[in-house]
Structure 1
Amino acid sequence: MTTKKVSMVTQILIAVILGVVFGVSLPSVAGQVKLLGDVFLRLMQMAIPLLILGQIIQAVGSIDSKELTSLGWRTILVFGVSSFFAACWGIVMAVIFNPGNGIKIAEIKDTGLKSQTISFADTLLDFFPKNIFDSLTQGSIIQIIVFALFFGVALNKYLQTHPKSQLFKGIIDFNEVIILIIGYVMKAAPIGIFALIASTISNLGLQIILPLLKYLIVYGGGTLLFLGIWVLLVSVYCKVNPIRLVKNMKNMSIMALATTSSAITLPVAMKESRTQLGLSERITNLVLPLGMSLNSNGSAMHMSITVMTIAQMYQQGFDFQQMFYLAVTATFVSLANAVVPGAGLVSLAVIVPQMGLPLDSIAVFAGVEWFVGMLRTILNVNSDVYSAIIVGKSVNEINYNVFNSNSEEPIK
């Protein structure tokens, strides 16, 4: 008699449930296990910059020179349009449902964060690395991507004149080793996620969550509706079954919700894009790593709906011009958004002062950052994959036999 191995997704779901129960029932003890969660996150993050660097170099280096410019522009266009509309959608949801109504300003405490007024020129300049090793050390994803694009284009050109070079094979081997490292670390995912959720729940308390319940409901509903729009758009354009599309993406969606990190979910998303959705390796390796920084739909929506909520808390109305400026600003700030848990408050610390709102207003949102992070991450991850499917369809690189297959390969 053989026993069926419990899949990683099932293990993570169990860890989430146990973490919530443990955090509520034994808060004093649950707060002490945070170290395990922090160790898990550090182990994951140590390889992510190298994963992104290597995958983009490999993807760009392998593209036919005639398609390099065309494929890149298609990808960036889908990213830019989707992130901007996500920001606009957040504003629309806030205007219709007014989630800031009823939140008492007296309950807001100062976080100790200082105002950050960053000009557009400074933001644009920060996209470009002055030292790639410094960028890798700091984990500056957008700078790593810029360097990887330059390296990939140069490698592509070099291989045209040196077809027998072993450099490209070495990069492929390097990427496979990095993926193996992430696979080893992921074996500890259930323990790490249990510790993170237990410690987070132990520090929250209903007295912090309840005043923002309406905000969470509006934000959650907006995220669900926007994902529905994405599913409808992809289904119509790519001529696929929407139910099967959702089903084929369930593992990466659960991983995004559980970890609240696009970076940690990236290996799962890349694997399932090939094995469940039928995307080619070329599309997967280029679009998904790029999407982590250039297609943060969830981050753009989070910033816009939260800023609108803060404005409503202070009874400060925004006209159409201000809301348009907010949507554009949220789109650009989302490009530099960190891909690890807890990055939402950092982004708010940048955009809130630029909209003329007090920085200490974001303190109340720290209490629900984990729940907000779940919504933000699933939209970030899924929109990256939806974008990849659209790009893949535009260049006929979707294997519909794989997409429509009934086989489900578990996460290893």
Structure 2
Amino acid sequence: MKNLPLHWKIIIGLIAGIIYSLVSSSLGWNSFTQNWIDPFGTIFIRLLKFIAVPLVLFSIIGGVAGLPDPAKLGRMGAKTLVAYVVTTVAAVTVGLVVVNLFQPGDYIDEGQRVKNRLKYELWAESTPGGRILDGERYLSKPEYADLVAEAEAAMKTEMSDEGVEARMKAAEQFKEAGPLQFLVDFVPDNIFAALTDSGRMLQVIFFGIFFGIMLLLIPQEKAQPVRQLIDGVNEVFLKMVEVVMEAAPFFVFALMAGVISKMASTPAEVIEIFKGLLSYSIAVLIGLLFMIFIFYPLVASFFVKKLSYSGFFRRISPAQFLAFSTSSSAATLPVTMECVRDNIGVSQNVTNFVLPIGATVNMDGTSLYQAIAVVFLAQMHLVDLTLGQQLTIVLTATLASIGSAAVPSAGLVMMIVVLQSVGLNPAWIAIIFPVDRILDMCRTVVNVTGDATVSTLIAQTEGELDVKRLEELETV
């Protein structure tokens, strides 16, 4: 057990957590699990998060200040952003192909879909500027007259959901921002405030890049002591990651036990939650698994000939399993950086620059799930979206993913923006709440895998990939 690779230990902890949670639910131990086991999972995420922000800051400063040619920074930055946009568009496209191919909304009971359609039409008529997208009017059909009153009552309940209301307000603030608001948000007004708020990681990245560039511009004799200090602090935070990861299997066990115990009181209730949204969940999983097991490894092995399909997974698996456990790209970032640098051979400069940006702006899994969820919700309300409306989803989901914070369930807020962009009811997000946490875990794996893939490609194009080390690792 002591010589077992870390990723196998994490898998064991993950499976043990799931088995324990099912047993504890059946024996009525959920209260004990949530009071005495789940807190250790929370501690684990907090440990990783408090390491992540300073690690990002010092890594970026060190990476930029260590560049031999300042012009390389602009070239690498442009490549990084283009690569992330391309993978995001690919993810949304995969999502739309899957949801149109499998039509998960068609598996919902037909009678329920008619009621959903009536609710949709009532909402469209009562919303300023709202319109029925496909022009059909079920409300005027006599065979559905008895269901209208029931639909009106259900719609009021749907719209009064507090969780939906809070997310709709957040989405409204996002939409009301001016066209250049993203640039304003990029620049911190107080770097110390940015360091204490995980949702402002872009500001930390901006400060790190700016500080690193200034180190390149001042005389070498004055910059050198600062660079040595930054490198030393960076090593301390990397050591923290190593120490925390020694206990990762136990923490992952606690995380999984806590997550499942909060979903329902008994295993039967957990199964019941998934039954209603089974077709949707399967469609999302098919899309996510395609990205993880086909798209990313094939892209990586195509551009990096020395990196085999199985080798790709072997090297980044600790980060993938951790991403599944934490549902947070930001919390997983320290481990992703360690895997990419030590296991794949990506240089420290590229690792320190590309991955922090990816953890903030690259949300491939979130974008894919938004595309599937929006079309699924339309299908289950008998709304047929045109090709033009689905292309709007591609554009909006791509832009919205950049604004998503790298924290659990932030994608739900962005989904409201996507729903509104095609004229659908934003309150529909309440329908997919029950399975969001589990699917969030899966899509975070996609986000982290995408980050690792892009950083490897950037390193390859910049001549910053240690091919010799890669060959040595491939033979192990």
* TM-score of the pair, normalised by structure 1: 0.89
Residue 317 (structure 1) aligns with: 384
Residue 196 (structure 2) aligns with: 137
Instruction: Work out which of the residue numbers 200, 206, 222 in structure 2 matches 1:146.
Output: 206
Instruction: Work out which of the residue numbers 327, 348, 353 in structure 2 matches 1:286.
Output: 353
1:234 pairs with 2:300: yes
Q: Which stretch shows the higher mean deviation, 63-72 or 376-385? A: 63-72
**Count of equivalent residues:** 406
- Cα distance between partner residues in 2 of 1:31 and 1:193: 14
Secondary structure of residue in 2 paired with 1:378: helix
Q: Which stretch shows the higher mean deviation, 386-395 or 186-195? A: 186-195
Deviation of 1:38 after TM superposition, in Å, equals: 1.7
2:45 and 2:326 in contact (8 A); partners too: no
Q: Deviations over 1:74-124 (max 9, x none)?
A: 112111211122122212221221223334557996353322223362455
Label 1:280 to 1:113 Cα distance change in 2 as closer, same or farther (>3 A). Answer: same
- Cα distance between partner residues in 2 of 1:112 and 1:264: 24
Residue 224 (structure 2) aligns with: 165
1:276 and 1:408 in contact (8 A); partners too: no
Consecutive unaligned residues of structure 1, counting only runs of 5 or more, are none
Q: Deviations over 1:180-207 (max 9, x none)?
A: 2333333443333222211222224111
Residue 222 (structure 1) aligns with: 287
Residue 186 (structure 2) aligns with: 127
1:155 pairs with 2:228: no
| Amino acid corresponding to residue 188 of structure 2 in structure 1 | P
Residue 388 (structure 1) aligns with: 455
Residue 54 (structure 2) aligns with: 50
Deviation of 1:372 after TM superposition, in Å, equals: 1.0
Label 1:58 to 1:408 Cα distance change in 2 as closer, same or farther (>3 A). Answer: farther
- Cα distance between partner residues in 1 of 2:418 and 2:221: 47
Consecutive unaligned residues of structure 2, counting only runs of 5 or more, are 117-153, 265-269
Paired-residue identity, %: 30
1:112 pairs with 2:116: no
- Cα distance between partner residues in 1 of 2:52 and 2:2: 31
Residue 10 (structure 1) aligns with: 8
Alignment of 1:72-87 (within 5 A): 72-87=77-92
Secondary structure of residue in 1 paired with 2:107: coil
| Amino acid corresponding to residue 82 of structure 1 in structure 2 | T
Secondary structure of residue in 2 paired with 1:235: helix
Secondary structure of residue in 1 paired with 2:76: helix
Label 1:130 to 1:13 Cα distance change in 2 as closer, same or farther (>3 A). Answer: same
2:377 and 2:428 in contact (8 A); partners too: yes
- Cα distance between partner residues in 2 of 1:89 and 1:245: 21
Alignment of 1:265-280 (within 5 A): 265-280=332-347
1:253 pairs with 2:320: yes
Deviation of 1:6 after TM superposition, in Å, equals: 4.2
1:113 and 1:349 in contact (8 A); partners too: no
Deviation of 1:380 after TM superposition, in Å, equals: 0.8
1:201 pairs with 2:199: no
2:343 and 2:473 in contact (8 A); partners too: no
1:80 and 1:294 in contact (8 A); partners too: no
Residue 40 (structure 2) aligns with: 36
- Cα distance between partner residues in 2 of 1:211 and 1:36: 31
The structure with the larger Rg is 2
Q: Deviations over 1:231-288 (max 9, x none)?
A: 2222222223333333333333223223322223222222222222122222111111
Secondary structure of residue in 2 paired with 1:279: coil
1:25 pairs with 2:23: yes
| Amino acid corresponding to residue 251 of structure 2 in structure 1 | G
- Cα distance between partner residues in 2 of 1:181 and 1:244: 26
Label 1:164 to 1:265 Cα distance change in 2 as closer, same or farther (>3 A). Answer: closer
2:419 and 2:426 in contact (8 A); partners too: yes
- Cα distance between partner residues in 2 of 1:26 and 1:49: 35
1:99 and 1:218 in contact (8 A); partners too: yes
User: Which one has the bigger helix percentage?
Assistant: 2
